[in-house]
């Protein structure tokens, strides 16, 4: 929760600057991600597929930003090795830096139904994001990569109590191309998202998971691009 508070704080600090800044982007939209999964657990390797969907929002200026996402869906079925495949993801991230390159950090929860892992993981993520507005074409390109960390229980040694230890348990990377026609506050998005995460019990991996999905999104968006700078021209006589 502390991470979530920090992320919200960073985002809120950025809001006043966003209002007065030259560059401003706000968007909120729906996401559908047809997903394929490689799952390795005690029962062995399985390949599953499914669709997760949800929504996302972004508000950012040329210095700060706030991004949030919620996804839910089913990847695989109950027959897939004691895992019914229901998945819920939610995270909130704050960004610092120019859109072309910013660092981001956030907090999220990842819940996966099943009997062999915890009901929900509290995850901390940090990484980098780059968004490039490709001019009057209406196209934008966005890349992000994050490391995902979590505090796991460490088995108690003799005479000591159980403790927690923070470690990197996964990675996430995504590419996205947005297209917004001129004077229309609607965008469509196509991209790819890859996530890899490791589940542990007693600080030992019990499940490895890869999720790769094609991101398809649509939503409303307001973009105030940076003003173009004209080159020096000859003086008018």
- DSSP type of residue 232: P
- Smallest separation (angstroms) from other proteins to the CB of 16: 27
Q: Which of 135, 155 has the CB closer to other proteins?
A: 135
Nearer CB in complex with other proteins: 96/141 = 141
Comparing CB distances to other proteins, the nearer of 5 and 101 is: 101
Whole-number minimum distance, CB 75 to other proteins, in Å? 13
Which chain residues interact with other proteins by CB under 8 A?
36, 38, 40, 45, 47, 132, 134-139, 141, 143, 145, 171-175, 177, 179, 190-194, 196, 198, 208, 210, 212, 214, 225, 228, 230-231, 233-234, 236-237
195: left (phi over 0), alpha (psi -120 to 50) or beta: beta
Output phi, psi for 152, to 5 deg: -110, 155
Least Å distance between CB 163 and other proteins?
26
Whole-angstrom distance, CA of residue 166 vs CA of residue 153: 9
CB of 147 to other proteins, least distance (A): 10
Between 17 and 206, name the residue whose CB sits nearer to other proteins: 206
Q: Are 8 and 91 in contact (CB under 8 A)?
A: no
Give whichever of 8 and 196 is closer to other proteins, judged by the CB atom: 196
> Least distance (Å) from other proteins to the CB of residue 161?
31
- SS (HEC) of 66-132: EEEEEEEEEECCCCCCCCCCEEEEEEEEEEEEECCEEEEEEEEEEEECCCCCCCEEEEEEEEEEEEE
């Amino acid at each position: 929760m502390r991470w979530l508070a920090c992320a919200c704080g960073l985002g809120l600090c950025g809001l006043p600057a966003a209002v007065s800044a030259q560059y401003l982007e706000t968007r909120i939209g729906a996401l559908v991600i047809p997903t394929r999964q490689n799952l390795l657990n005690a029962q062995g390797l399985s390949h599953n597929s499914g669709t997760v969907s949800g929504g996302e929002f972004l508000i950012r200026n040329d210095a700060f930003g706030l991004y949030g996402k919620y996804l839910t869906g089913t990847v695989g079925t109950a027959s897939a090795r004691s895992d019914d495949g229901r998945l819920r993801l939610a995270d909130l991230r704050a960004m610092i830096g120019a859109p072309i390159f910013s660092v981001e950090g956030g907090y999220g929860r990842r819940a996966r139904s099943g009997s062999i892992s915890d009901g929900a993981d509290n995850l901390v993520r940090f990484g980098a994001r780059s968004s490039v507005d490709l001019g009057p074409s209406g196209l934008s390109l966005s890349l992000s990569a994050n490391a995902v960390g979590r505090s796991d229980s460490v088995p108690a040694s003799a005479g000591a109590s159980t403790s927690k230890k923070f470690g990197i348990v996964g990675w996430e990377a995504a590419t996205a191309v947005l297209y917004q026609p001129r004077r229309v506050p609607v965008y469509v998005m196509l991209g790819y998202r890859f996530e890899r995460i490791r589940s542990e019990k007693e600080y030992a991996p019990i499940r490895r998971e890869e999720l790769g999905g094609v991101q398809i999104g649509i939503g409303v968006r307001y973009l105030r691009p940076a003003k173009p700078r004209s080159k020096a021209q000859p003086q008018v006589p």
